[in-house]
Structure 1
Amino acid sequence: MVTVPTEYLSHEAIKKKSYTNLVEARQKAEVAGQEADLQESIRNFVRQQCNGCTPYSWQVDAAEAFTLGLDCTIIAGTGSGKTLAYVMPSFIQKDGMTVVISPLKTIEEEQADQFRAWGIQSVAVNGDTYNQDLHKELEDLKYQILLASPELTIENPQFNALLCSPAFQKHVLGYIVDEAHCISQWGGDFRPVYAKLDRLCSFVPLGTPIYAMSATISPAVLAEELCIIAGSTDYSALDFIVKDAQAANEIPRALIFVNTVSQSQAGFWRLHGIVSDQLKSQISYLNARRSPRTRKTVLRDFCEGKIRVMFVTKIGGMGLDIPDVELVIQFGVPSSLPVWLQRAGRAVRNFSLQGHAIMMVEASVLQRVSKKKKGRTGEENLESEDELEDSDHEIGIEKDPMYRKKIQ
């Protein structure tokens, strides 16, 4: 947990300063007559709402900092419980609202469902759901957590005007920028609105915290491996996943991340073609070119165990929270090391299980460097969420399989 802006300090120095800020804020709150033991209250509410589960100390620290109005950056491994850290204040401040800036509609909808199951009134606010009826419900303060897209938050005049209105602002507990690594990874030509999220500071009142949340490491139970494959079309390297399987339970629960839409389809057809007819339904794929209805159905079936193996692209796989995934494969070198760490963290989110994350690296990556093609022009930028997908002409990657990617 970091409650100070990033500085050129050591990790230990930043951590020490952060907790000094928290202690000072706690002391000021006690002098002002606020609840003396806020942390214990948070723990009790979490136990009541989450089937007796006790939150980690760092989660309680983050929730307390949020409640006391401190800006905070939370960096914790995928699956470690970052979401609960910002939800906990809603357990004890039921008349307040938290606005979550979320990168994808599917994440917004899934988290809204999860929060409602915890007894928190929540809603996804995006281009598919936002209308006059929902706007009226927001004005009437019907919800505790709003999960909104960055486009709607920054660029929609009506919704932004609501966020800026004093009547609304006095009920806002704070703002959460979820998957904050998207600011640097997507804030250029890919999804420019992410580069504009600094505008939050122009209308969020002083004392209303802004949280940035991301993951940088995978769970400790994860065994990471490296495998060299012949090339970017060497889908036979994946055959081991389904080889000799006679029943569905003999196929591991697997997520296979690929870098392009065509790879998700080609990999699917490879495994689909080598399994018996009774097991073909156990394999599927998820990318932004599938219809919203199909994506929702495929994701639901995978979550329920009706699908064992799923090929996913960047958009298809972001935000997946499925605890029993045993195997994560990155097929081909990703664009950066943080991307790999994010994806590797999708395995064994239930810490009682064991799992593997395997990166399959094209042999050509280790052989030579080729010239890179020019990226898209500004006029060719992607314009809608459904188009925000790695294409077969990914910027900086040659079609010729003989290339070497630079991993940032």
Structure 2
Amino acid sequence: MLRKVNLEAKLREMMGSMAELRGQQKQGLQAIMRREPRVLMVMKTGGGKSLMYMMPAHCSVEGVTVVVVPLRSLQEYQGRRCKQAGLNVAQWSDTKKVRTAQAVLITPESAVTKAFGRFMNEKVSMGLLESVVIDECHIILDSIYGWRFKVLELMELCEGECQLVYLTSTLPHKDMPAFWRGSGLDPTDVLMLRDNTSRANVAYRVIEYPTEDEDEAVQKLVEEKLRQYSGIGQIVVYCRSIKQCITLGGVLKCPMYFREVGSEDEKRGILQNLAKGQERVFVATHALGLGIDAAGIRGVLLVGVKAKMKDYGQERRAQ
């Protein structure tokens, strides 16, 4: 049974002999493995949220864990993380049937298709659906790309049939009433665990400049940061729009990342270069901000004021 698993030993088996549980990871894993019906975990970026589904899935002999991720780029990234941990993982494709996997990664758009509905019904009828995990669950607060409604459709599909696990690093206390309403959850039915999400090693700085000098101001700041982190570290510049991203990418002569930047293979290559530290400077829209961790990032520049404070939390990647 999952509840009898030695968590520390399993972690070392998956992640190496020096790995250890941090923060609320142990409490979260214990809750998931004892089959709490509804679990919500708020943990800081880089705090190990992915372990909340990777370890239970790794321990399950025949069952499958479904992980809903908001972007295909994040699906690719999480897929690599799972494989590195020795997990049998599949990325759902509407054109290729998934047969066996410990974890299935899927976007909200694909999660509400008839093909995936048949897959879910099959696993439920065979008693093999372990849990459905909503990664970056704060997207329920937004209506971008219709994510909120697609996630709610999926919840209706599996309501009462399996465990639901919600993971995020960005869900402040003031947003909780809206989250409960938007998710259709009753807070009295949910086990909530909140870790410390503050980052002591992150410093914020605001720079004012004339609007007409924006490109020049960004270029000078990037050059300053490259000198500050000479030979090490990367700089990511977040833009308000695709148009701005393309403009600054040309000014800085660096790779760009946004939703329509290229094919899936091309986007995968850009993300791999970011993760491997092969490029010093990137410009991107918020499409890069959801759950992508790159240890080499030392500076994050956000061009313009954002309407939602939680977006800053998603895009702060300084280590």
User: Normalising TM by the smaller chain, what interval?
Assistant: 0.7 to 0.9
Pairing 1:130–2:94 present? yes
* Identical positions, percent: 18
Q: Which amino acid aligns with 1:206?
A: G
CA deviations on 1:17-69 (whole Å, 9 max, x unpaired) are xxxxxxxxxxxxxxxxx67754xx12211111101201125112111211222
Pairing 1:116–2:96 present? no
Q: Which amino acid aligns with 1:347?
A: A
Pairing 1:86–2:28 present? no
Displacement after TM superposition at 1:243 (Å): 5.0
Map 1:195-274 → 2, pairs under 5 A? 195-204=149-158, 206=160, 208-216=162-170, 217-231=197-211, 234-238=214-218, 239-242=220-223, 249-250=230-231, 252-272=233-253
Q: Which amino acid aligns with 2:104?
A: L
Q: For 2:57 and 2:47, how far apart are their aligned partners in 1?
A: 19
What does residue 270 of structure 2 align with? 298
Q: Which amino acid aligns with 1:261?
A: I
What does residue 141 of structure 2 align with? 184
Residue among 19, 40, 43 paired with 2:8: 43
| Higher RCO structure (Cα 8 Å, ≥6 apart) | 2
RMSD (Å) for aligned C-alpha atoms? 2.4
Residue among 98, 106, 113 paired with 2:65: 98
CA contact (8 A) 2:45 2:291 kept: no
Displacement after TM superposition at 1:339 (Å): 0.6
Instruction: Answer with 1 or 2: which has the greater Rg.
Output: 1
SS of 1:242's equivalent? helix
SS of 1:220's equivalent? coil
What does residue 176 of structure 2 align with? none
CA contact (8 A) 1:162 1:168 kept: no
Q: What is the TM-score normalised by the length of structure 1?
A: 0.65
Displacement after TM superposition at 1:270 (Å): 2.2
CA contact (8 A) 1:258 1:331 kept: yes
Q: For 1:330 and 1:123, how far apart are their aligned partners in 2?
A: 34
* Distance change in 2, residues 1:36/1:308 (3 Å): closer
Residue among 84, 100, 105 paired with 1:147: 105
Q: Which amino acid aligns with 1:198?
A: L
CA contact (8 A) 2:2 2:59 kept: no
* Distance change in 2, residues 1:64/1:224 (3 Å): same
Runs of 4+ in 1 over 6 A off after TM superposition: none
SS of 1:315's equivalent? helix
Residue among 298, 307, 310 paired with 1:326: 298
Displacement after TM superposition at 1:253 (Å): 0.9
CA deviations on 1:337-367 (whole Å, 9 max, x unpaired) are 00111111x221xxxxxxxxxxxxxxxxxxx
CA deviations on 1:311-338 (whole Å, 9 max, x unpaired) are 0101134332101200111111123000
CA contact (8 A) 2:2 2:60 kept: no
